[in-house]
Amino acid sequence: MCGIVGYIGDRKAYPILIKGLHRLEYRGYDSAGVALLNGNLNVYKCKGKVADLEAFVKDKNLDGNIGIAHTRWATHGEPSDINAHPHYSQSGDIVLIHNGIIENYASIKEELKKRKHKFKSETDTEVLCHLIENIKDNEGVSLAEAVRIALNQVVGAYAIAVLSKDSPDELIVAKKGSPLVIGVGSEKEFFIASDATPIVEYTKNVIYLEDEEIAELKRDGNIKIKTIKNKVKTPYIEELEMQLETLEKGGFPHFMLKEIYEQPRSIMDSLRGRLNPVKGVVKLGGIADYEQAIIKAKRIIIIGCGTSWHAGLVGEYLFEDLARIPVEVEYASEFRYRNPVIHEDDIVIAISQSGETADTLAAIELAKSKGATIIGICNVVGSSIPRATHAGSYTHAGPEIGVASTKAFTAQITVLTLMALQIAYEKGTLSRSKFHELASELYAIPEKVQAVLERNKEIEAIAKVFKKAHNFLYLGRGYTFPVALEGALKLKEISYIHAEGYPAAEMKHGPIALIDEEMPVVVIATQGASYEKVVSNIQEVKARKGKIIAVVTEGDTVVKSLADYVIEVPEVDEHLAPLVAVIPLQLLSYHIAVMRGCNVDQPRNLAKSVTVE
Ligand code: AGP
């Protein structure tokens, strides 16, 4: 969490920085700030969003061709003007922005206090800035060297950018555990950011800094990279594939709605080049070298957080059902701390939209250290998780800006389905005819998703009825149980309504006690093996006067006669049901949140990329 951006070159830095902060605001939005070097080192920062910072700096001196800026998601110290970044050093001659956590900041702070350092904020970041200045002054070294020495003393995660009044022609950046991309412009200029979105409109040439690397970016276009152990590295420039249009709202009122509507395209992009329905071929090139290892695996462990964990549950059903491989799905945050049993022949599938989730990364490192093979399913190209895994497949959903994950979820399920189909077919646990049938059904999913999107008005009307509800229950069974969890998560994170997802049959083991005429119950009752059982569950809710909103397969008459509201989705094979059944739930949450006046793209307390544990 937190977004950092910086510029050094001949252009005015401020417009680049502020635009960059808007692009990164999804990473945190409780305070923001900017530092500009123009003889003086001016820092402007305030509590609130990037727009508040823009209003705050209106009458300020915004000159300077070198600057850094930050949008914060608070970890140490509440959101406030003082805790906002950039932070000054003791003398005020050095400023620093930071994404991550310095775990041993308290002991460093105590040491510095003994040397008469005075701190204004409660942050770990300010301590690091003071430490750098203390080293620079006491050891008489350059800014870059002081940064290097300081980073050898800190424990934790960081992506930092540092400016000094005494070094007006350089910008120092470093990273460990938090992402940092350097854009190399054609005009002797450098852009830095937490991800490539603030950079792409200026240059497509980027360097992804590795952990424990420091880069010295000079105004004359020179760049030096070394590790914190002082090993010189050769910069490796890669070309970005990102398109600028994908970062704009494109006429939609919110990114979330745009991303929901993009799903026919994003699912197709995840299939393209990997699935040939006519020949009945599925090939995920990224896992080719590990295909045999997966086929022979005695166990697959799927790890992820939040929505990615929900996609993992769908993956469990798919792999067990089609490829007959036992699967365990784990919250990465639990897995990493509970001393799990991991064998060398285990396959670990790590799922992450951002590719930066700290718990998922740590769980990967743990499994790797025990010899397991790690396969990644990620959306953000070049992010940390794909670089930490042995192999993997990108989801190709395109940038997801809304904090609530939508198109990334369906893209993750698409890739998991492809993987399960490929492995099942090669392993011989799936007949040629069933394989063919599923492959062509999968290829038809984008148009079926499109058909669900066309029901948006009906869903909006249902949202109007329930917008004031205090609680919601979501029920599903089999392949749609993870969809119930995902529907509940979507609603709570953007509308702040309490919602729970349950396997429908579990209801009578507790949650049924909650049901009365005030309780809306969303039931996913599409055709499948458990359809009749779900109908019985609906009867149980009905008998207790609960209000039923049912997602049903087109042409259903049984549930229609029982439910208060129905949303029809096209018929699909049960294995693919999550891909269509989740769409109405995304739209329902979206409309309820908008009607309640919530900020759907940037819900309170959340950040898109959770880079702290
Ligand atoms: C989804 O709507 C959430 N915002 C959140 O649960 C998210 O899925 C989770 O933080 C995992 O993120 P990742 O996929 O980037 O690893």
517-553 pLDDT, tens digit each: 999 999 999 999 999 999 999 999 999 999 999 999 9
Give me ligand 1 centre to Cα 89, in Å.
35
Q: Is 205 helix (H, G, I), strand (E, B) or coil?
A: strand
Q: Is 434 helix (H, G, I), strand (E, B) or coil?
A: helix
DSSP per position, 486-545: HHHHHHHHHH--EEEEEEGGGGGGTGGGG-STT-EEEEEE-SSTTHHHHHHHHHHHHHTT
Burial readout 333-349 (b: 16 or more C-beta within 10 A, e: otherwise):
bebbeeebebeeebbbb
User: In percent, how much of the chain has pLDDT > 70?
Assistant: 100
CB 332 within 8 A of CB 357: yes
Which among 610, 611, 612 is the best mutation to test ligand 1's pocket, defined by most ligand atoms within 8 Å of the CB?
Answer: 610
CB 253 within 8 A of CB 383: no
Q: Which residues face 525 on adjacent strands?
A: 552
Query: Which of the residues 49, 258, 547, 608 is marked catalytic?
Result: 608
Query: Which of the residues 2, 129, 305, 598 is marked catalytic?
Result: 2
| Alpha carbon nearest to ligand 1 atom 10, residue | 306
Give the atom of ligand 1 at the shortest distance from the alpha carbon of 310: 8
DSSP per position, 177-193: BS--EEEE-SSS-EEEE
What confidence score (pLDDT) does residue 382 get? 83
Q: What angle do CA 590, 595, 598 make, to 5 degrees?
A: 70
Please tell me what DSSP assigns to residue 342.
Answer: -
Give me ligand 1 centre to Cα 169, in Å.
39
378 is an active site residue = no
Residues of the chain falling short of pLDDT 50: none
Q: How far apart are CA 578 and CA 572, in angstroms?
A: 10
What confidence score (pLDDT) does residue 545 get? 92
* Nearest partner of 531 among 596, 479, 585, judged by Cα: 479
Phi/psi class of residue 205: alpha, beta or left (left: φ > 0; alpha: ψ in -120 to 50)?
beta
Q: Which residues contact 126 (CB under 8 A, 6 or more apart)?
A: 87, 88, 119, 120
| Alpha carbon nearest to ligand 1 atom 9, residue | 306
CB 29 within 8 A of CB 211: no
45 is an active site residue = no
For 345-398, write each residue's pLDDT tens digit: 999 999 999 999 999 999 999 999 999 999 999 999 888 899 999 999 999 999
What confidence score (pLDDT) does residue 308 get? 98
Give me ligand 1 centre to Cα 345, in Å.
28
What confidence score (pLDDT) does residue 243 get? 79
CB burial class (10 A; 0-12, 13-18, 19+) of residue 377? buried
For 226-252, write each residue's pLDDT tens digit: 999 999 999 999 998 887 777 888 889
What confidence score (pLDDT) does residue 77 get? 81
Q: What are phi and psi of 564, to 5 degrees?
A: -80, -35
Give me ligand 1 centre to Cα 406, in Å.
10
| Alpha carbon nearest to ligand 1 atom 16, residue | 352
Phi/psi class of residue 6: alpha, beta or left (left: φ > 0; alpha: ψ in -120 to 50)?
beta
What confidence score (pLDDT) does residue 1 get? 72
Q: How far apart are CA 144 and CA 217, in angstroms?
A: 10
Q: How far apart are CA 500 and CA 522, in angstroms?
A: 10
- What is the value of pTM for the model shown? 0.83
CB atoms within 10 A of CB 117: 18
Reading the block at residue 113, the tokens are: 């206090």
